[in-house]
Amino acid sequence: MQEAPTKNIDLREYLGIILRRKMLWIVPLLLIPLLAWGGSFLIKPTYESSTLILIGSSKLLSRSFSSLIPGQEERISPYKVEEHLKVLKNQILSSGYLKRLITILKIPPDESVVRTAYEIKGEFPDLEMQELVLNLQVEKLKGSFSVNFRGENLVEISARAHNPSEAASRAKTLGEIFIEESLANQLLGIRGALEFSDEQLAIYRKRLWEAEAELRRFQEKLLRESAGADPALAININSMNNALDLVKMELENLKSQINTLEGRLFSSGNAHLELSFSPHLQELKKQLSSTNNQLKRGLTRYNWLDAKVVAVNQEVHSLLDRIESEITKQVASQFEGESSAVKNTLEELTFLRLKEDFDQQKLEVLESSLEKLNRRLTHTPKNQQTLERLQRKVEENRRVYELFSSQYTGVQISQAATQAEAEAKFKVIEPARIPVAPISPDRRKLLVSAALLGLALGFGSVIVAELSDHSFKKVEEVEGYLGLKVVGTIPLIELAGWRAPKKKAWIYIAILIVTALLIGLAYLAGSGRLLFQL
């Protein structure tokens, strides 16, 4: 039995085919990259610019101040990172943000957008043409942005445009819009509470003034009735009422100034700074507090204009000057590394807080002394009842007013703290810069891809040519086809006067030149220099 012939793989045979059909794969290998390179100059270049924003958690307030701010713990509580990142991505690429971007940068719509809007206007009859164009522009603009995350708290906003300056300005502006809107969202609830507290504060301030005015009118009436019997008492009560009004006005001003200074410290991130009182400063504070006791004892025996009472008030002014000077020295020694603005704010805030405590004690002394004097005026039970009723009315309105004032102060602190924390929380780590080279078209990748495509087409052409060529190339093929043994072969015989055509050497030279040109173009495309030379 005759064995079937086995077919062995001969690499030299395949190499011969490749060399014999070399023009079929060399031409596509050179032509397609050249066409791709030339076509790349017809493509409008695209530039990309990115900004990197840090989203961190900042804790600027001390524990004592955090306890004063409602909702502080809920605001800083952590939540799932993946959900947070999805929310941020949708937030940054939302229509509201992109419409603000279009308005700020005054980005005109493309002709294709306007043309599409006119084509589909019939499908949306309720929409104005301007609104339809804006919606289509937003959708197209959304595709030119990308939001990526590096780790858990770094957001990268990238913008692509045909102009490098536009790409940088779009990335920068969208990052700024994101930070502004995030800050506004955090302050939204606090601003609502601030407006409510401000409205209620104005209402009860008016009620307190009206109650105090009613009480004052009644006391003046009693003074006029008793002036004939005891004119010195009437003068004393009138003087103390004036002093009481001055103390109340001063307390109002002190609270307003303290709120302003506290907000200034919070905004600068120095809310934790607090002066430690030296022994000398504590002694001065104790002496200042003792003057209120002296004033209380003096007012039981002397009137407000008596020399001894005046001497106590003069001592108060002297002690306040010494305390202010000592606070300045202590701040300078304890906070040497801080700026002069921070030290000045801390000096003023410490002094005003101390003076507020003193004025509050003085207010209680004056009210207590006035109450005793007023009892001397009320000779009848009816007058006594009316006076007590008016005093209760004043106290009730003052209590409610102070409650809203305290709430208003807490909300102001919360607003300043939230704004300071948000500014520290959202920080631009890497600003958007004008790109120096486009990201598209990437001519190096384009050349490599075109070369691979040309090589694939070339070898495909070689395979097709070989499969469609039925001529005999080897002796074995003839024997297999005829079934006869080949006895001998006759070589090619050249006749006299006939010469085989010379190989065209210029074709190979051209191939070498084109190959060298492609290599040089690929290098220049990678370095980015050719783009600026052309």
94 CB-near residues (< 8 Å, 6+ apart): none
Whole-number pLDDT of residue 34 = 80
| 203 band by pLDDT with thresholds 50, 70 and 90 | confident
| Integer Cα distance of 347 and 325 in angstroms | 10
Range of lowest pLDDT (23-27, 47-51, 163-167): 23-27
Joined tokens for residue 461: 């052409």
Whole-number pLDDT of residue 517 = 64
Predicted confidence (pLDDT) at residue 285 exceeds the cutoff of 80:
yes
Whole-number pLDDT of residue 59 = 46
Predicted confidence (pLDDT) at residue 168 exceeds the cutoff of 70:
yes
Joined tokens for residue 356: 């507020």
Q: In degrees rounded to 5, what are phi and psi of residue 70?
A: -70, 135
Mean pLDDT of the chain: 75
Joined tokens for residue 520: 């040089």
User: Stretch 10-34: mean pLDDT, rounded?
Assistant: 79
Q: Give percent of the chain with pLDDT exceeding 70.
A: 71
DSSP E strand boundaries for 257-357 = none
Residue with tokens 């209120």: 292
| Between 460 and 194, the higher pLDDT residue | 460
Predicted confidence (pLDDT) at residue 320 exceeds the cutoff of 60:
yes
Long-range contacts of 385-393 (CB under 8 A, 24+ apart): 386/218, 387/215, 387/218, 387/219, 387/222, 390/211, 390/214, 390/215, 390/218, 391/215, 393/211, 393/214, 393/215
Whole-number pLDDT of residue 2 = 45
**Region of residue 472 (left: phi > 0; alpha: psi -120 to 50; beta: else):** beta
Per-residue pLDDT tens digits for 119-135: 888 888 888 888 888 88
- Per-residue CA distances from 220 to 8, 217, 371, 379 (Å): 129, 5, 14, 15
| 533 band by pLDDT with thresholds 50, 70 and 90 | very low
| Integer Cα distance of 398 and 198 in angstroms | 16
pTM for this entry: 0.45
Per-residue pLDDT tens digits for 71-113: 444 443 444 666 777 788 888 888 888 899 998 998 888 888 8
What is the per-residue burial (b if ≥16 Cβ within 10 Å, else e) of 15-31?
eebeeebeebbbbbbbe
| Integer Cα distance of 144 and 135 in angstroms | 15
Whole-number pLDDT of residue 44 = 82
| Integer Cα distance of 358 and 290 in angstroms | 10
| 513 band by pLDDT with thresholds 50, 70 and 90 | low
User: Stretch 407-428: mean pLDDT, rounded?
Assistant: 66
Whole-number pLDDT of residue 115 = 86
Q: Give percent of the chain with pLDDT exceeding 90.
A: 2
CB 43 within 8 A of CB 473: no
Whole-number pLDDT of residue 4 = 47
Closest by Cα among 80, 79, 88 to 154: 88
Q: How many CB atoms lie within 10 A of CB 120?
A: 11
User: Stretch 240-259: mean pLDDT, rounded?
Assistant: 83
User: Stretch 49-72: mean pLDDT, rounded?
Assistant: 58
Whole-number pLDDT of residue 218 = 77
| Integer Cα distance of 164 and 51 in angstroms | 14
Instruction: Give the strand order in the sheet containing 47-55.
Output: 145-150, 154-161, 47-55, 426-430
CB 419 within 8 A of CB 183: yes
User: Stretch 198-217: mean pLDDT, rounded?
Assistant: 79
User: Stretch 320-331: mean pLDDT, rounded?
Assistant: 88
H helix and E strand count, the chain? 18, 4
| Between 318 and 403, the higher pLDDT residue | 318
